[in-house]
Amino acid sequence: MRSRRRVAIGAGGAVVLLAALDAYVVTTILVAVVEDLGIPINRLERVTPVLTGFLLGYVAAMPLLGQLSDRFGRRALLQACLVFFAAGSVVTALAHGVPVLTAGRVVQGVAGGALLPVTMALAGDLWDERRRPVVLGAVGAAQELGSVLGPLYGALIVAWTDDWRWVFWVNLPLTALAMVAVHFSVPAGRPHDARPAVDVVGGLLLAAGLGLLVAGLYSPEPEESALPPWGLPVVAAGCGVLGLFVLWELKARTRLLDLTDVRRGPLLATLGVSFLSGAALMVTLVDVVLVARTLLDRSTVEGALLLTRFLVALPVAAVLGGMLARRVGERLPMAAGMAVSAVGYLLIAGWPADPAAASYGPLPRMDTDLVVTGLGLGLVIAPVSSAVLRAVPDVRHGVASAAVVVARMMGMLLGVSALSAWGLHRFHALTADLEMPLPFLMPEQEFERRLAAYEAALQDALRTEYGEIFLITAGLCALAALLALAAPARRPSTPGPSPAHHGHDRTEIRQ
């Protein structure tokens, strides 16, 4: 029975890795996509929907899919989502415009929205409370391994094939292999005798509210304003719909996340940590690559390699966080991890005026700062999941796992939306008074002098923008550290059945 559950969680980890690769791959192939679609490099806001589309689909569908896995079983949901993930990959690979490309990414996101929470719920089904944090740490490490490999994986495929579409064509054989592995290893049937109802209304309200927020934050003309003319009313409408979602969840008989007999304060604090860590993660994924491309003048592959300093630390710390949670409980690793990441972002915000000087040497500052930040964010992955799963009954593990990932992906979604709106507007504001010199209006030496001054001013504006963004991110991490102190405290451990007995009980999934 032990070997069976290990194979099952291994298959789950494989599909988590597959979805994670596609979640993060766009951060480094974006320039190739922009060039292929004929979008000017200074109009990157036009492809913002490609980034937010995947995340929106991922977040909006996840609670319902987690609930459906509680009702119909883990294997059935994993198989169905893999089929749709392959279909979304085909649409994305065939796209020749932003609308179709965005549609394909949304389908991929919706399908990928089940893979991580269902696998986390599977860990809850098969392992007892005492051993679960280490297993969740391993699943979290698989997710973060995708974040490590995704950017570099995409950059290498584009460098090798000179075609970003192959990034998505490769998904077809990988999805087929994953479906075979899931079929032969993940137990069939429902994980519990009960058949929980599904909150369709709540899921639709959540999806609509998030969609309105993202639409309101998207500014096609960031040089004019951070928000579009319709921004405030649409954002207000999104907040209103999310308010209706909260009211529905309080009154409805069937809910996306039933908090009956659950201490809401500690649970919501833990989900708040997940939300803020997601926002910090997305800021790092986008801005570190942009620093490499704009300030360091490095290639796509070199930018991805710089980002791996941060990303490699995430899975290492994810496993360490699971071990610490098993020994000392979840609260301390969460608070410590977010505090460490806050320090890391403060260090990054203070990178010198010449970042190239900080990227070389026996112990480059850029490398060490990124590793410190990655270790901090990685420490919270397993404790957050473990704390939420421990706070709810076993029959709600699927939807509770979805809630953890929804909170994190909401942070990523709203983070990248706000980053695109505010960051691009801030850059245009800093450079509004700059005028590019024209060579035919002055002597050659004067033109070269003015051009050098113009380029230096652009670099200063970029450094200011990046520094401010990382300072804000440090503040978000400090807030998350405070929230972590309100997370559920570990209950005293009690004697339980032997490991063999646990393995037998947990793997008897209803057929």
CB distance 270 to 381 below 8 Å: no
91: its two tokens: 């649409």
d(CA 184, CA 416): 38
Q: What is the pLDDT of residues 52-86, one digit of tens each?
A: 788 788 777 776 776 777 777 778 888 888 999 99
Closest to 32 (Cα-Cα) out of 156, 171, 218: 156
Contacts of 508 (CB under 8 A, 6+ apart): none
118: its two tokens: 């269902």
Alpha-carbon distances of 52 from 110, 164, 211, 233, rounded to whole Å? 12, 19, 10, 20
Average pLDDT over the chain reads 79
Closest to 218 (Cα-Cα) out of 47, 57, 409, 92: 47
End-to-end CA distance of the chain: 16
CB distance 410 to 276 below 8 Å: no
318: its two tokens: 């994810």
Q: Which residue has the tokens 């999934």?
A: 509
Q: What is the pLDDT of residues 178-223, one digit of tens each?
A: 888 888 877 776 665 555 566 778 878 888 888 888 788 776 666 5
User: Which long-range contacts does 346-352 make (Cβ < 8 Å, 24+ apart)?
Assistant: 346/470, 346/471, 346/474, 347/372, 347/373, 348/373, 348/470, 349/466, 349/467, 349/468, 349/470, 349/471, 349/474, 350/467, 351/463, 351/467
CB distance 121 to 401 below 8 Å: yes
d(CA 307, CA 26): 13
Instruction: Name the 3-class secondary structure at 258.
Output: coil
Residue type for position 95: A
Per-residue pLDDT at 259: 67
Q: Residues, the chain, total?
A: 511
Per-residue pLDDT at 43: 66
d(CA 151, CA 24): 6
Q: Which residue has the tokens 């995430």?
A: 314
Q: Which of 21-25, 332-336, 384-388, 499-503 has the highest mean pLDDT?
A: 332-336
Percent of the chain with pLDDT over 70: 80
CB distance 89 to 169 below 8 Å: yes
d(CA 103, CA 57): 10
Q: Which residue has the tokens 């809910």?
A: 255
Element (H, E) at 412: helix 397-418
Q: What is the pLDDT of residues 233-281, one digit of tens each?
A: 998 998 999 899 888 887 877 776 666 666 777 888 888 999 999 899 8
Beta carbons within 10 angstroms of residue 193's beta carbon? 7
